[in-house]
A and B are shown apart, each in its own frame.
Chain A
Amino acid sequence: MPEREADALLRARGVSRSFGGLKAVDDVSVDVHRGSVHSVIGTNGAGKSTLINVLCGEIQASEGTVELLGQDVTRWSQPRRARAGLGRSYQRNTIYAPFTVLENCRLSAQAALQRPWDWLAAAERCEASVAAARHALERAGLTTQAHLVAGTLSHGQKRQLEIAMCLSTMPRVLVLDEPLAGMGPEESERMLALLEGLKREHGILLVEHDMDAVFRVSDQITVMVNGRVIASGTPEAIRANEEVQVAYLGEAFAD
């Protein structure tokens, strides 16, 4: 799929982040284009989580820039980036356990149309947020569970809800942190199908440990070791890259 510069929805340029003396992320550049999945892989401690946190605005970059939909968002707060079209899902479940599945998504959708001063209108009758929530639940395959309390869902369903909540804000770019974490083979298949479907209208930055999934669904893969990018390219190029094989993939992938 041809990727032009102009299509980059999310772009990190020379991003670094230090904690005291430790450089957790060192001069990393990543592009996310519409209609494609860009995966970031690496061993534990490679700096992937820190990179995601910097991209989403949870922590500030020490150096470098982050651009979202053409705007420089390096100094923007996380809520501001979210409202501008950046959606994020987390590795651990961050769902609102006491609320219903529908309310989980409706509340997330409400972020786009907040109106906090309107105390007369009941939140649950707000048509716009309910519609966005139902749409997101449909994409994620959770429509029949809409009225269940979120805390009672199975682990796989909770991961689906995590994605649905991310979709409820109608983002342009999705940053997904290990969406397959803790899933069995059937659930993983469903999640991958969902990601393939989402790919079409969004740009996706994916962090995952499941290598089969990564190679199946990605259009581009970036490999990180010790905070630095050691390789970036198509799945075939990465598979053939010797440095990557040595550092990360192990003998099983060597040709």
Chain B
Amino acid sequence: MSEQEGSPAASLASRLVPVVLVAVALAAFPFAGSKFGIDLLTRIMILAIFALSLELLVGQTGLVCFGHAAFLGIAAYVTALLTPQSAPAPLLLLLPAAVLAAGAYALVVGALSLRTRGIYFIMVTLAFAQMAYYVFHDTPLGRGSDGIYLYFRPVLSLGGWQPFDLDSGHTFYYFVLASLAFTFGLLALLVRSRFGHALAGIRVNEQRMRAAGFRTYAYKLAAFVVAAMLAGLAGFLYALKDGFVNPELLSWHQSGAVLVMIILGGLGSLRGAVLGAFALAMLQELFQSSTVFGEFARHWQLTLGFTIIACVALMPNGLVGIGRQIGRRVFQLRWRHA
């Protein structure tokens, strides 16, 4: 994480205020927004959780993983498979099961993949994600490319009392918002903790960390598993949202998309991950809109492809980087006129 200029208090305020504002705006939205808007924002928030989980791996630890969608997909499938056909499942069983399944796969895959570095690591993580894709696509476990439907969202039952009903669109929205807040808060704590600082050190110079006495393999594996479990949380919510899972959730298009999100938003920043998820989702909506692009909206992937190339080439620090530049200019202007 880069160092900010100015006093620590002002710097903390300038970072906290936008986050709080966004949280308040998100909480207020359902009162004014359309059903379409609520639906879209729910999806974006789930993607934001997914992006945040990858940010821990890529931005903080420096491990470029191109198979992160596997964890999203595995958790989603476990959610669907463990939901009975005729009645809702208990939330306290389903959520941990999904998250732990993702974590378990990460433990095995990570233990093997982290024996490699650099380019090999990228290729190996992609390969293992593809393996999971094939398991769900070809074997009877996943019921093939048609996917599985979920007919009931889970219920939270505390000794007979049900505090909320996830079947309501609004309630589910707030459940997702709470999950996003939890993920953001957890990662914010983690990043400033000893563990987080050690991960940052590994990113900058792993050899130096080993020379100081850190067992870097263990740290990287831990980060890998934590990131996978948070991606699993996103996968659980994804399955619940549409009531449908299919193997494309594990495809490398999904893995590629989440990487694009964190680069777009700005690597090395939690806010960047959330911003990037929002920006990519909006871009996709824009490019697919026939009102703007007419017939060409069919070929939105072409427009998206060129946009990604342009963004990576021209905005190396992402949207957050541009935000900082603007902020700096404004600050300089005000100082000069003071």
A and B touch in the complex (CB under 8 A): yes
Q: Which residues of A contact B (CB under 8 A)?
A: 56, 58, 77-80, 82-83, 88, 90, 94-100, 103, 107-108, 110-112, 114-124, 126, 149, 165, 168-169
Residues 212-234 of chain B, each 1 if its beta carbon lies under 8 Å from chain A, else 0: 11111001001000000000000
Would A107 and B213 be within 8 Å (CB), given that A96-B205, A96-B208, A116-B219 are in contact?
no
Residue among B186, B189, B195, B213 having the largest count of chain A Cβ atoms under 10 Å: B213
Bound together, the chains give a CA A110 to CA B128 distance in angstroms of 34
Flag B260-281 by CB within 8 Å of A: 1 or 0 each. 0000000000000000000000
Contacts A116-B219, A123-B194; A111 near B214 (Cβ below 8 A):
yes
In the complex the two chains form, is B214's CB within 8 Å of A123's CB? no
CA of A111 to CA of B202, assembled, Å: 12
| A96 to B, closest residue via Cβ | B204
* A79–B198 touching, CB < 8 Å: no
A-B contacts, 12 of them at CB < 8 A, read A56-B211, A78-B211, A79-B210, A82-B210, A90-B211, A94-B205, A94-B211, A103-B197, A108-B208, A114-B194, A116-B222, A119-B189
Interface size on B, residues (CB 8 A): 28
Distance to closest chain B CB from A157 (angstroms): 17
Whether B205 contacts A121 by the Cβ 8 Å rule is no
Question: Could you tell me if A98 and B211 are in contact, using CB atoms closer than 8 angstroms?
Answer: no
A120–B193 CB distance below 8 A = yes
Instruction: Report Cα–Cα, A110/B194, bound state, in Å.
Output: 8
| A79 touching B208, Cβ below 8 Å | no
Distance in angstroms between the alpha carbons of A86 and B192 in the assembled complex: 28
Q: With A and B bound together, what is the CA distance between A169 and B214 in angstroms?
A: 11
B2 in contact with A107 (CB, 8 Å): no
On whether the beta carbons of A88 and B211 are closer than 8 Å, the reply is yes
Quick one: given A107-B197, A110-B197, A110-B198, are A119 and B211 in contact (CB under 8 Å)? no
Q: Mark B165-191, 1 if CB is under 8 A from A, else 0.
A: 000000000000000000000100110
Smallest CB–CB gap between A166 and chain B, Å?
Answer: 8
B196 contacts chain A at the CB level, 8 A cutoff: yes
User: Of the candidates A78, A96, A117, A119, which one forms a contact with B201 in the assembled complex, judged by CB atoms under 8 Å apart?
Assistant: A96
Tell me if B207 counts as interface (CB < 8 A to partner A): yes
* Chain B facing A: main interface SS: helix
Asked if B189 and A120 sit within 8 Å, CB to CB, the answer is: yes
B295 interface hit (Cβ, 8 Å): no
Known: A96-B204, A98-B2. A116 touches B212 (CB 8 A): no
**Complex contacts, A115 vs chain B, CB 8 Å:** 194
Q: Which of B68-116 contact A (CB under 8 A)?
A: none
State whether A123 touches B210 (Cβ < 8 A): no
The interface centre, meaning the residue of A58, A107, A124, A149 with most chain B CB atoms within 10 A of its CB, is: A107
Judge whether A169 and B213 touch: CB under 8 Å. yes
Specify which chain A residues have a CB less than 8 angstroms from the CB of B207 in the assembled complex.
Answer: 58, 94
Which of A78, A95, A100 counts the most chain B CB atoms within 10 A? A78
Q: For the complex formed, measure the closest distance between the CB of A73 and the CB atoms of chain B, giving whole angstroms.
A: 13
Q: How far is A182 from B211 in the complex, measured between Cα atoms in Å?
A: 22
Asked if A111 and B194 make an inter-chain contact with CB atoms under 8 angstroms apart, the answer reads: no
| Residues of chain A contacted by B200 (CB below 8 angstroms) | 99
Residue among B196, B198, B210, B211 facing the most chain A CB atoms (10 A cut-off): B211
Q: Out of B192, B213, B222, name the residue touching A79 (CB < 8 Å).
A: B213
Q: Could you tell me if B197 and A121 are in contact, using CB atoms closer than 8 angstroms?
A: no
- Overall SS of chain A's interface: loop
The 10 closest A-B pairs by CB, nearest first: A111-B213, A82-B213, A83-B213, A123-B197, A111-B212, A116-B195, A108-B212, A123-B194, A94-B208, A119-B193
Q: Which of B193, B204, B205 contacts A123 (CB under 8 A)?
A: B193
Asked if A118 and B189 make an inter-chain contact with CB atoms under 8 angstroms apart, the answer reads: no
Would B210 and A124 count as touching, CB distance under 8 A? Answer: no
Point out the residues of chain A lying under 8 angstroms from B192, CB to CB.
122-124
List of B residues within 8 angstroms of A126 by Cβ = 194
13 extra A-B contacts, CB within 8 A, seeds A88-B211, A107-B209: A83-B213, A94-B211, A96-B201, A98-B3, A108-B208, A114-B198, A116-B198, A118-B194, A119-B193, A119-B196, A121-B193, A122-B193, A165-B212
Give chain A nearest CB distance to B204 CB in angstroms.
5
Q: Which residues of B contact A78 (CB under 8 A)?
A: 210-211
A90 to chain B, nearest CB (A): 8
Q: Write the nearest CB–CB distance from A164 to chain B, whole angstroms.
A: 12
Residues in B neighbouring A120, C-beta threshold 8 A: 189, 193
Query: Which A residues are in CB contact (< 8 Å) with B208?
Result: 90, 94-96, 108, 165
Smallest CB–CB gap between A240 and chain B, Å? 37
A10 to chain B, nearest CB (A): 15
Residues of B within 8 A of A97 (CB): 204
Determine the residue in chain A with the shortest Cβ distance to B199: A116
B104-143 vs A, CB cutoff 8 Å, 1 = contact: the mask equals 0000000000000000000000000000000000000000
Question: Could you tell me the distance between the alpha carbons of A115 and B209 in the complex, rounded to whole angstroms?
Answer: 15
- A58, A79, A100, A116: the one within 8 Å of B3 (CB): A100
- With A94-B205, A116-B219 known as contacts, the answer to whether A123 contacts B196 (CB < 8 A) is yes
* A108 contact set on B, CB distance < 8 A: 208, 212
Assuming the contacts A111-B212, A116-B219, asked whether A99 and B204 have C-beta atoms less than 8 A apart, the reply is yes
For residue B322, give the distance in angstroms from its CB to the closest CB of chain A.
20
Whether the pair A107, B211 counts as a contact (CB closer than 8 A) is: no
How near does chain A come to B117, taking the closest CB pair, in angstroms?
Answer: 15
Checking B189, B198, B216, B222 against A107 with a beta-carbon cut-off of 8 angstroms, the contacting residue is B198
